[in-house]
């Protein structure tokens, strides 16, 4: 049995280390779509990092509400990541944790870097599930065409994308679970 950890991060630039992860959130889902628990943390910026000018101007300047939200109740990265690993380990009672994101490459890169830097471990090992790739296969479409605007509306849940990590983690977790349920139904009907 697996438990799917839908994760979203917000950052002040494109890469961890030179830039900081500002916030992250995870929503833990059972394969049937049951939301088991959530975790959220807003982080202090890394002392030696600098915000990326393009990211600040092209993204954060247009998303002021999300910026304000991710700058509240700041935690030290080490403390937040240690709490997060404990949270993931508690979820093991439901199954093996599987990291997932949309897109995987960006979110996993930051989470893995922060986990290794501040805790020396990753509860997800070296891998994660890319929801966009799963959508590509479900839609029988090219990867670049597998965008949310091209996906069937029935795959989406109630939560809307807000650039607040907790909202987006839940949104993409609902998306995955709806896709996965449909995939299982299709697979069962083809046996």
- The whole-number average pLDDT for the span 11-33 is 97
- Kindly state the DSSP code that residue 33 receives in the 8-state scheme: S
What CATH number is associated with residue 156?
Answer: 3.30.420.10
The end-to-end CA distance of the chain, in Å, is 22
Q: What is the domain count for the chain? A: 1
Domain limits for position 57: 2-189
Tokens 């439901």 belong to residue: 94
- pLDDT tens by residue, 102-152: 999 999 999 999 999 999 999 999 999 999 999 999 999 999 999 999 999
Q: State the average pLDDT for the chain.
A: 95
CB count in 10 Å sphere of residue 89:
11
């Amino acid at each position: 049995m697996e438990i799917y950890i839908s994760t979203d991060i917000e950052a002040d630039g494109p890469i961890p280390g030179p830039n900081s992860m500002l916030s992250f959130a995870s929503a833990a889902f059972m394969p049937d779509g049951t939301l088991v628990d959530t975790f959220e943390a807003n982080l202090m910026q890394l002392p030696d990092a600098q915000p990326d000018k393009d990211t600040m101007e092209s993204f954060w300047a247009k998303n002021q509400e999300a910026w304000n939200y991710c700058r509240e109740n700041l935690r030290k990265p080490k403390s937040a990541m240690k709490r997060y690993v404990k949270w993931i380990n508690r979820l093991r009672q439901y199954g093996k944790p599987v990291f997932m994101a949309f897109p995987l490459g960006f979110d996993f890169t930051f989470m893995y870097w922060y986990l290794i830097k501040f805790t020396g471990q990753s509860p997800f090992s070296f891998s994660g599930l890319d929801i966009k790739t799963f959508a590509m296969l479900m839609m029988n479409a090219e990867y670049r065409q597998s965008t949310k605007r091209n996906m069937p509306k029935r795959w989406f849940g109630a939560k809307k994308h807000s650039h607040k990590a907790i909202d987006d983690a839940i949104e993409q977790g609902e998306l995955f679970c709806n896709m996965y349920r449909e995939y299982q139904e299709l697979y069962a009907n083809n046996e």
